[in-house]
Amino acid sequence: MTSSPLDRLLRPQTIAVFGGREARRVIEQCDRMGFSGKIWPVHPKLDEVLGRPCYRSLSDLPSAPDAAFVGVNRTLTVEIVRSLSAAGAGGAVCYASGFSEAMGELGDGAELQQALLEAAGDMPILGPNCYGLINGLDGALLWPDQHGMQRIERGVAILTQSSNIAINLTMQTRGLPIAYVVTAGNQAQTSLADIACALIDDPRVTAVGLHVEGFGDLASLECLAAAARRSRKPVVVLKVGRSEQAKRAAVSHTASLAGSDAVADAVLARLGLGRVQSLPALLEILKLLHVAGPLASRSISSMSCSGGEASLMADAAVGRNVEFPPLPPQQLPRLRRVLGEMVTLSNPLDYHTFVWGDLARQTEAFSAMFEGGYALNLVILDFPRDDRCDASEWAMTVDAVIAAASATGALAGILATLPENMPEPIANRLMANGIIAFSGIDETIIAVEVAAGIGQAWGAPPPLPLLDVPCVDGEIETLTEADAKTELAACGLPVPRGLQAFSPREAGEQAERLGFPVVLKALGIAHKTEAGAVALNLKDVEAVSNAAAAMPLNAGYLVEKMIDPPVAELIVGAIRDPVFGLSLTLGAGGILVELLEDSVILPLPATKTEIYAAISRLKLAKLIYGYRGRPKGDLDAAVVAIAAAADYVVRNAAWLEELDINPLMVLPEGQGVAAVDALIRRRR
């Protein structure tokens, strides 16, 4: 295991606790979990706490503690942290609130948090405004409350900014073995990504789940992704901030930025970090990753003794990037032999109840299904209430699944459609035998999708480093369309031939030089169509002059050659996100932008391979590929043009605020593309 600055804090041998009630609770929790190290209470007035002698001050301790729980008021927290750092302590949990998360209520919150950072120096701290950590592997807790964890030998790590959510997650009864729970509060110094990197190096940790209210710096996120890939320990993120209310709640809670949800999706996918949208989904994917790690494909088999359950499974996959492939021919004879003639052989499979209560026949049926080469094999099984029913035949089905998985070497899971129908003792037994105990159909399908996505990302070459360039200060200027196109053309982006003019008469003359038909635009007007500042397909000098005279005159006119009708129109844009910086957006352009809402986001820099893949995810891609016999678009030229736009964004990242190319006309195959409108906003 490699060394980390957080090692002493996360895996302490000696713990000092400062404060009254909360400090006492930390000792209680350590005792309950069987912590074998030293605990040193520090209090100016008490003589002992829970049978341990109390030290009057930090200077009286036998040595600098590996970890300290600081459960005092916010002002005194700063002083104790300063003393701990000077003494050479390994780290501290800062329990107190009233720092940057309370800037709206306390005028000195941000100032006090800065003072805390300076006091800590190089010593790691968690928080402030957090409960701390539970290490279920070594029984070490810096945690002032109840929890639902127990000592285990290996399991997942769960990290969150929210202490209350952390408590709730420890109370799960789904069979998920939790090795660590760590809260980070305001992340003043140590981010969730920093903590995750340190925990990934623990050989007893199998996977990491993050509940994130706001990201810190991109560099730490990239380091986490690289560590996960290197160690083959997947990381899954539940990020809030999809709604404006959630963003406001995150700011009020930890003074953190949520950023654009769509950009976050794209960045996490690029890095090979999974993403889920709910706490139940987070628990289910962590169970899958704990047992199996990322999946090699998106193919699933499903067996149930009910057609209703088979239909629910099939429906849950609609809109998800998972598949129930048809049964291969080699599976059919054995399944037919064991299940009989009345069973329709399909995937998902309703195997009826002909083999129910027969261990040998169930084992053979499951084995026959598991040999189909699927990434995951599911058996739907909701257990009856143990206070009113006899579950012996359900237990027999569990035995059959375990035996079939062992005989075939296939990955299997038992799925209860309702969480309450998966008893914890059963879930624990399944997980101990390498069978994933799933709860909830939708959450299980999401788990498969996410695990396969991580597997796909890890199977590809490592991604390029993300574009992480801060914007310079300066007044924002908006270039005219003509100037914007001149800059983009210099980067290799095809634009229509055009000339500028500054009077209606000159516009007509320039049109004649270009050759008809032409397009006329008034420069310096953002929404040209609404303002009557664009005229199409003008065929003579008089038409151009008259159209110019009717337009509002601002910064002159742009006369361009009319482009032939395209196969498709794309929008290519970039806008600065407060968290993730600049990324590229591709989508259906022209009048279809708002109508279709068809777009994908590409983190930068982007390769041509990634651009091809991004286009393929658009609904509009069907037009470019030649929809229903229509001409194909010049896909290769579109990719080259988009790559040129991406290169422009990367090279100008320090100044650029916004780029909007709409539409980028994709002409028939072999005829190229043309950026017929462009907007650039940048810092001076």
For the segment 331-359, the average pLDDT, to the nearest whole number, is: 94
Q: Rounded to 10 degrees, what is the CA torsion of 635, 663, 476, 501?
A: 120
Q: Could you tell me which residue, 359 or 525, shows the higher pLDDT? A: 359
Mean pLDDT across the chain: 93
Token reading at 312: 């629910």
Q: What is the pLDDT of residue 250?
A: 44
Q: What is the pLDDT of residue 113?
A: 95
Q: What is the DSSP letter of 103?
A: T
> Which contiguous run of DSSP H or E holds residue 71?
strand 67-71
Cα(632)–Cα(594) distance, integer angstroms: 24
CATH class label, 497-561 = alpha beta
Token reading at 222: 């990239």
Q: Are 10 and 199 in contact (CB under 8 A)?
A: yes
Q: Are 547 and 535 in contact (CB under 8 A)?
A: yes
pLDDT at 403 over 70: yes
pLDDT at 298 over 60: yes
Taking only Cα atoms into account, the Rg of the chain, rounded to an integer number of angstroms, comes to: 31
Cα(521)–Cα(523) distance, integer angstroms: 6
Q: What is the pLDDT of residue 252?
A: 35
C-alpha distances out from residue 527 to 503, 532, 548, 662, Å: 21, 9, 16, 12
For the segment 275-282, the average pLDDT, to the nearest whole number, is: 97
Cα(516)–Cα(543) distance, integer angstroms: 11
pLDDT in tens, 442-462: 999 999 999 999 999 999 999
Cα(656)–Cα(44) distance, integer angstroms: 57
- Strand pairing of 518-522 and 656-666? unpaired
Topology match between the domains 299-459 and 497-561: no
pLDDT at 64 over 80: yes
Q: What would be the CATH architecture of the domain defined by 1-129?
A: 3-Layer(aba) Sandwich (3.40)
> Per CATH, which fold does 568-683 belong to?
D-amino Acid Aminotransferase; Chain A, domain 1 (3.30.470)
C-alpha distances out from residue 139 to 13, 27, 265, 295, Å: 10, 11, 35, 32
**Residue type present at position 220:** S
Decide if domain 147-291 falls under CATH 3.40.50.2300. Answer: no
pLDDT in tens, 141-168: 999 999 999 999 999 999 999 999 999 9
Out of 32-46, 473-487, 523-537, 557-571, least confident range: 523-537
Q: What is the pLDDT of residue 259?
A: 54
Cα(627)–Cα(475) distance, integer angstroms: 46
Token reading at 15: 């713990």
pLDDT at 233 over 70: yes
pLDDT at 226 over 50: yes
Decide if domain 299-459 falls under CATH 3.40.50.261. Answer: yes
pLDDT at 253 over 50: no
Query: Which of 42-51, 75-84, 523-532, 590-599: highest mean pLDDT?
Result: 75-84
* Locus of tokens 């991406």: 646
Q: What is the pLDDT of residue 424?
A: 97
Q: What percent of the chain has pLDDT over 70?
A: 96
**Residue type present at position 60:** D
Q: What is the pLDDT of residue 256?
A: 38
The domains of the chain are located at 1-129, 147-291, 299-459, 497-561, 568-683
Cα(497)–Cα(478) distance, integer angstroms: 22
Q: Are 8 and 84 in contact (CB under 8 A)?
A: no
